[in-house]
Each structure stands twice: as structure tokens, then as C-alpha cells.
Amino acid sequence: MEFSDIIEVLFLRNYNTRLVVICTMLLGSACGLMGGFLLLRKRSLMGDTLSHATLPGVCIAFMVGVLLGGTGKSLPFLLLGATVTGVLGCAAVLFIRNQSRIKDDAAMGIVLSVFFGAGVALLTMVTKMPDGAAAGLESFIYGKTASMVLSDFWLLTVVTICVLVLSIFLFKEFRLLCFDETYALAQGWPVKFLDVLLFGLVTAVTVAGLQAVGLILIIAFLITPAAAARFWTDRLDQMLLLSAVIGGISGWIGASVSALIPNMPAGALIVLVAAGCFVFSMFVGVERGVLVRVVRQLNLKRSVGRQHLLRALYEILEADGLGDGGIQIRAVPFRQVRGRRTWSDRQLKRYLRLAYNEGLVETLNRFDEIVLTEAGVEAAAQVTRNHRLWELYLIEYADIAASRVDRDADAVEHVLGEKMVALLESKLQTLRPAESLAVPVSPHPIQPGD
């Protein structure tokens, strides 16, 4: 492989390479777009079911073509057969789901195995027919991207345009169907028609992709880009757009690498590239990626530890009885703070260091005594107030015993937002007007610590 070969592939100078790359990019975009709806609809296995259900149709179409006096190798006729059995498979899944108590995954598994078993049996019969072994029907199983011609390009273009146009015009309806089917049904939306239409689009994409990646790998092309896009955003429109882009890039890179490496199947490379995008997104996705979640958990843990430290200091000073409804700042021994919770010395020192870096505490004698700064007193009062708002709310509205409410409030107070604080303040003002502005009195006894 020379540098000139790479340049020729990248700039699509060869006609066959240009045709294959553009076709796979169109297919990847359409698959990514439809895969996003399938993923959110929790019907990821439906693409696999549809692809396997097309095999009997391909075999039957070949047999019918031979019986009619032809060669049986007409691609439009084979795709028509694949479409018919694909639609039948889709209808079988919907029928089983709606007419019985069997769930979606079981229904799709049943239809997949039955149709694919019938397809394998028919394929065996085809190979025993005259000229059947040379029919090349195995390409529909494993894909044969390099053999794509201009008619495939026009087919994929039409399918991609139809998928894009219908997805734009029915975006609101498909979004409602994916997120709350029961609500859509209660509002009078034609849920069954929308379901059938969505599956019809998936069927069209699946049949169009048989020539490129085959019925075994088409499921990966449908679901993997959508699953990868899910790690980057929670917005449906952005997810669908990103899924289509990932699908298109996977098709482009996979087909290009296949053109550069002799005897390397493009379908398998396309799926591997899509899988690489998925792995990359799983680790570094800004919304749901593994690394982002680890960082968020660490930040939350630090925030929770800091809040517990500030509340412990406030309650120790409050329990001294100094001041009238407030606290008087003094140095608190390290061991006294240590006794408030099941902290280790190392954990408490780490939380103290974080609070010190934020200007909330002053440390004396290398962590032996702790003093709250003015900013620390204000932050500690706010943390304690939010905690006790939760305690009062749980006691009044959730019938939580005062002896247990401290631990229950700990479980929820760290996700307290501004709107919830305002709501709890209004509740508190109605119940206890005198406590609505200052830090409320604790509903359970506060001990000064060891």
C-alpha cells in the first residue's frame, strides 16, 4: 500500500470506491437515525429480528424467479421478497405482543429464530437447485459491499431521504411514542399506526443494507451508532443527529480501509469502526461516559464530605449554647469533630484540606483545632438549614420519626436544588413561621460530641 493509494481512496478518485463509500455513508446515516428510535423504544432486538426475517423472502423470491423462467438473480425481485418476509416478521412480533402477555423481547426472539430457521432450510434447498450454488445468496447473509452498483446508490438515496423526511415531520410523534406510549394512547394518538410506520422505516433500512453489511451485521449498524451517541447527550434531537453522523463516519472509514487492504470485508470493518466509536464514547462521553461519571462521583463525594464537616462544626458550636439562637466561633478540637461521624483520621483531614482550600476553615497546630472563617460560618449555617428543612418536611409530610429523620435527610439533602429549597421554605413558613428565616431548631437532640 503506497501513499498514492491512500490519497486516491481519501479523495474518492476511483469510481467504484466512490460509489461504495457514498453508499455506506448513506446507509450508516439512515441506520443511525432509525437505530436511535429503536434504542429509546427498547426495541433494539427488532433490527436483528427484521434482518433475519428477510432471509426466507430472499430464498423464496429466487425460487419464484426460477419457476417463472428467469435466473432468479434479479436484485429488485430479491429485495422485494426480503421486504415481504421482513414485514411479516414485524407483523408477527406486533401480533404476539398485542394478543398475548408475552413481552417484546420474547416475541422478537421467537420470530427471529423461526424465520431464520426457515431461511436456512430454504437456502439449503436453493443450493441444491440447478445453478443454485452460484446464485450468490450468501452475500445477503454476510454482505458484499464491493459489488454495489449504481442502482444500489439510488436505492439507498431514496431510502435515506424518506427516513430523513418522515423523521423530521413525525419527530414529535416518534418522540412521544419512544418515551411514553401509554400517555400517547391516552391522548388519542394513533400509537399502533406510528409503531407500524416506525417498523416500516426500519424494515426499509434493513432491506437496503443487506447488500452492504448483510443480515447478520446490520443489527450492529442499527444499534451501535445510537448507543454510542447516547453517551454524549440527553437531548433526543442531538442524539439522533450524532447517531446519524457516527453511522456515516463508520461507513466511510470502514469502506475506505476495505478499499486499501485487499480481501478485507467492508461489512465487518464498518461494524468494527462503529464498535470503536462506541468504546470511545463509553469512556469519554460528556454526558454518560465512564470517566465523566467517575469524576462526578468523586466531586459529589467531596461535596458531601465538606457539607457533613461544616454541619458537624455548626452543631458542635450550637450545642455549646453560646449566643441567642446562633453560634459563637471558637476553635474546635480535631477529635471532637472526629467523633461526630464514622470518619477516619485520613478522611477527616482530606475534607478539612478541601474546606481550607475553599477558605471555609482555619487550621491550627496541624489539624489539631479547627476554626470556621466568616465564609465558613455562612456556608455551615446554610448547609445546616437545608438539612433541617428536609428533616421538618419528612417529619410533617412523610411521618418519619424524629429519632430516624437525621439519617433519612442525609440521603436526600445533597441533591437539594434552589426550587426545592423555596418549596420547603414555604412549607416551613406555614408550619412554623418563627423558624422560617433563621436556621430551624433541630427536631432531635444535638450532642456536643466527645
pLDDT in tens, 264-321: 777 788 888 999 999 999 999 888 889 999 998 888 888 888 888 888 888 888 877 6
Task: Judge whether 445 lies within some domain.
Answer: no
Neighbours of 345 (CB within 10 A): 11
Mean pLDDT for the stretch of residues 388-412: 74
Which of 287, 319, 347 finishes a domain? 287
| Nine-digit cell string for 173 | 410523534
Tens digit of pLDDT for each residue in 357-378?
A: 888 888 655 557 888 888 888 8
Would you say residue 301 lies in a domain?
Answer: yes
Given a cut of 60, whether residue 437 has pLDDT beyond it is no
Residue pair 371/332 in contact by the 8 Å Cβ criterion: yes
Does 241 lie in the same domain as 117?
Answer: yes
Look at residue 231 in the predicted model and tell me its pLDDT.
92
Q: Kindly list the strands in the beta sheet with 361-364, ordered across the sheet, starting from the edge strand earlier in the chain.
A: 332-333, 369-372, 361-364
Provide the pLDDT for residue 5.
Answer: 65
C-alpha cell at 292: 465523566
Does residue 244 sit in the same domain as residue 386? no
Do 315 and 324 form a contact (C-beta atoms < 8 A)?
A: no
- Asked if 43 and 155 sit in the same domain, the reply is yes
**Residue 138 is part of which domain span?**
3-287
pLDDT above 70: residue 429: no
121 and 79 share one domain: yes
In a domain, 389, yes or no: yes
Q: Which of 165-169, 216-220, 325-329 has the lowest mean pLDDT?
A: 325-329
| Domain edge (last residue) among 253, 287, 321 | 287
Tell whether 449 is covered by a domain: no
Among 15-24, 252-261, 434-443, the range scoring the smallest mean pLDDT is 434-443
What pLDDT band is residue 241 in, cutting at 50, 70 and 90? very high
Asked if residue 261 belongs to a domain, the reply is yes
Claim to verify: residue 156 and residue 213 sit in the same structural domain: yes
Residue 16 has pLDDT above 60, yes or no: yes
Do 188 and 106 lie in one domain? The reply is yes
Asked if pLDDT for residue 418 goes beyond 70, the answer is no
Give the CATH number, domain containing residue 411.
Answer: 1.10.10.10
The mean pLDDT of 334-345, rounded to a whole number, is 83
What pLDDT digit, counting tens, does each position of 32-48 carry?
888 888 888 877 777 77
- Is pLDDT above 60 for 248? yes
Q: Is residue 201 a part of any domain in this protein?
A: yes
446 inside domain:
no
* Pair (234, 335) in one structural domain: no
Q: Are residues 160 and 279 in the same domain?
A: yes
Distance CA 415, CA 425 (A): 16
Number of domains the chain contains: 2
Task: State the pLDDT at residue 62.
Answer: 83
Clarify whether residues 277 and 301 are in a common domain: no
Banded pLDDT at 217 (limits 50, 70, 90): confident
Query: Over 50: is that where the pLDDT of 60 sits?
Result: yes
Name the helix (H) or strand (E) containing 416: none
354: region left, alpha or beta (phi > 0 left; psi from -120 to 50 alpha): alpha
pLDDT at 135 over 60: no
In this predicted structure, which of 18-27, 168-177, 228-237, 317-326 has the lowest mean pLDDT?
A: 317-326
Residue 65 lies in a domain: yes
Query: Is the per-residue pLDDT at 97 higher than 60?
Result: yes
> Is residue 270 a contact partner of residue 251, using CB atoms and an 8 Å limit?
yes
Is 80 exceeded by the pLDDT of residue 76? no
Q: What is the pLDDT of residue 449?
A: 47
Quick one: average pLDDT of 128-132? 67
Q: What is the pLDDT of residue 450?
A: 42
336 and 273 assigned to the same domain: no
Instruction: Name which of 289, 305, 297, 313 is nearest 377 in CA terms.
Output: 313
Determine the pLDDT at residue 438: 63
Segment 150-209, tens digit of pLDDT = 877 888 888 888 888 888 888 888 888 888 888 888 888 888 888 888 888 888 888 877
Among 266, 287, 308, residue at a domain's last position: 287
CATH of the domain at 248: 1.10.3470.10
- According to the model, what pLDDT value does residue 335 have? 84
Considering the domain architecture, whether residues 369 and 255 belong to the same structural domain is answered as no
Count of Cβ atoms closer than 10 Å to residue 252 Cβ: 19
Q: Are residues 219 and 249 in the same domain?
A: yes
Query: Once rounded to an integer, what is the mean pLDDT over residues 80-108?
Result: 83
Please report the pLDDT score of residue 138 as a whole number.
65
What is the average per-residue pLDDT within 314-330?
70
Mean pLDDT of the residues in the chain: 80
